[in-house]
């Protein structure tokens, strides 16, 4: 396990690709399941990660296995209080990591299916946003993700339900199982979201069937500003040039599904290729509690150690994060100035 340096610990940080449900730690999961009378297939905090290891088919990106285990956690969340408790626990973790800005995804359809009133869920997240700013000086934006393995019509209906809560949601994304030809299927939903003023992103998971075609279609058909993951872009030089020239941001996640305490070599190689090509790529945790990979400091340290990135490289990754964030220019300038002050102070301390 890579040691977290003082440089990484003290650097002001942001994160753009993290799933609220994936931050649910085992001890809180047990509390939530008990109060909701949900039976879990384990009775200790490490049970969910142990289950992932037991059902994993190999040291590959076993997305299906991971999502099935994640569903156990997501399905335990049945009330707005569950969403509040999970989000506030993540805020406290982030504060300890010196994170100053977060964009956090939540699976809105999952909440509705499990009987959480949408207005109550959004109010719980709004409360978290206010308290995070007041108590920890962390700014949070919420991204509502639609699940690609559920009907397009349900996504459109859910988008309509979000209309009264437009001010609390900064963007719309697509996640969950990567279904064939999903960009074309969800193009009407994403067009409707754009018309409402939402920012757009979509998962294009690593090493999935038709990864490159999906990335191209997310850019060309959906008009996304960001792609969550999207690391397979590195395998096509023409596509690399496209995302660089169009400033399509990539929210890379270098750490892995359980039992991996460092960044896997194939991901690191793709991240290095994209970084060296000038892509607007950031480093993020994705599902830190579910992966067992640790939070942002450990993720950055693991990637730095695996790829030999310098501290100056890590500053550039973090600049990419703030450049990719869905904030106004004034806020962006403030964060970048703060990052630059940290870099300059660190350089003087070394010299």
Report whether pLDDT(259) > 60: no
More confident residue, 258 or 222: 222
More confident residue, 162 or 350: 162
List the 226-229 sheet strands across, edge first: 13-19, 99-107, 139-147, 169-175, 199-204, 226-229, 249-252, 281-283
Domain 6-350 grouped into CATH 3.20.20.140: yes
d(CA 64, CA 48): 15
% of the chain surpassing 70 pLDDT: 93
Closest CA to 18 of 149, 152, 138, 186: 138
pLDDT at 255: 77
pTM of the model: 0.94
pLDDT in tens, 16-47: 999 999 999 989 999 999 999 998 887 877 77
Contact indicator for 299, 318 with CB cutoff of 8 Å: no
pLDDT at 321: 98
pLDDT in tens, 261-319: 456 778 889 999 999 999 999 999 998 887 777 899 999 998 999 899 999 999 999 99
pLDDT at 351: 56
* Mean pLDDT in residue range 339-346: 95
Domain boundaries, the chain: 6-350
Residue 117 backbone phi and psi in degrees, to 5: -60, 130
Beta carbons within 10 angstroms of residue 85's beta carbon = 19
Measure Cα distances from 265 to 1, 17, 131, 260 in Å.
Answer: 14, 20, 39, 11
pLDDT in tens, 171-207: 999 999 999 999 999 999 999 999 999 999 999 999 8
The model's confidence at residue 68, banded by pLDDT at 50, 70 and 90, is: confident
More confident residue, 79 or 262: 79
* Mean pLDDT in residue range 321-333: 98
Contact indicator for 275, 254 with CB cutoff of 8 Å: no
d(CA 76, CA 48): 12
Give 332's contacts (C-beta < 8 A, 6+ positions apart): 322, 323, 325
Question: Which helix (H) or strand (E) covers residue 174, if one does?
Answer: strand 169-175
pLDDT at 320: 98
pLDDT at 62: 65
**172, β-bridge pairs:** 144, 200
pLDDT at 97: 97
pLDDT at 260: 46
* Mean pLDDT in residue range 89-94: 98
Report whether pLDDT(153) > 90: yes
Q: What is the mean pLDDT of the chain?
A: 92
Report whether pLDDT(104) > 80: yes
The model's confidence at residue 2, banded by pLDDT at 50, 70 and 90, is: confident
Give 117's contacts (C-beta < 8 A, 6+ positions apart): 80
């Amino acid at each position: 396990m890579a040691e977290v340096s003082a440089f990484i610990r003290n650097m002001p940080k942001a994160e753009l690709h993290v799933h609220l449900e994936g931050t649910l730690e085992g001890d809180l999961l047990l509390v939530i399941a008990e109060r909701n009378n949900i039976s879990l297939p384990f009775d200790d905090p490490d049970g969910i990660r142990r289950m992932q290891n037991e059902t994993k088919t190999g040291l590959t990106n076993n997305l299906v296995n991971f999502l099935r285990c994640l569903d156990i956690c997501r399905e335990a969340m049945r009330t707005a209080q569950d969403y509040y408790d999970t989000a506030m626990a993540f805020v406290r973790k982030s504060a300890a990591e010196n994170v100053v800005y977060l964009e956090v995804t939540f699976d809105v359809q999952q909440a509705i299916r499990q009987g959480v009133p949408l207005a109550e869920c959004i109010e719980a997240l709004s409360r978290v946003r206010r308290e995070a700013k007041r108590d920890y000086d962390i700014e949070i934006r919420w991204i509502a993700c639609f699940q690609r393995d559920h009907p397009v019509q349900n996504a459109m209906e859910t988008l309509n339900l979000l209309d009264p809560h437009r001010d609390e949601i900064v963007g719309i994304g697509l996640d969950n199982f990567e279904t064939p030809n999903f960009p074309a299927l969800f193009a009407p939903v994403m067009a409707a979201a754009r018309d409402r003023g939402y920012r757009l992103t979509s998962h294009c998971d690593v090493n999935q069937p038709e990864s490159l075609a999906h990335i191209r279609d997310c850019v060309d058909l959906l008009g996304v500003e960001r792609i969550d993951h999207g690391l397979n872009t590195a395998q096509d030089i023409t596509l690399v040039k496209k995302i660089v020239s169009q400033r399509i941001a990539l929210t890379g996640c270098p750490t892995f599904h359980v039992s991996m305490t460092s960044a896997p070599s194939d991901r690191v190689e793709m991240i290095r290729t994209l970084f060296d090509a000038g892509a607007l790529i950031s480093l993020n945790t994705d599902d830190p509690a579910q992966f067992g990979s640790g939070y942002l400091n450990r993720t950055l340290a693991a990637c730095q150690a695996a790829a030999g990135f310098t501290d100056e490289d890590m500053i550039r990754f973090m600049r990419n994060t703030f450049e990719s964030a869905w904030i106004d220019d004034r806020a962006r300038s403030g964060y970048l100035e703060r990052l630059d002050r940290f870099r300059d102070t660190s350089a003087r301390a070394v010299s």
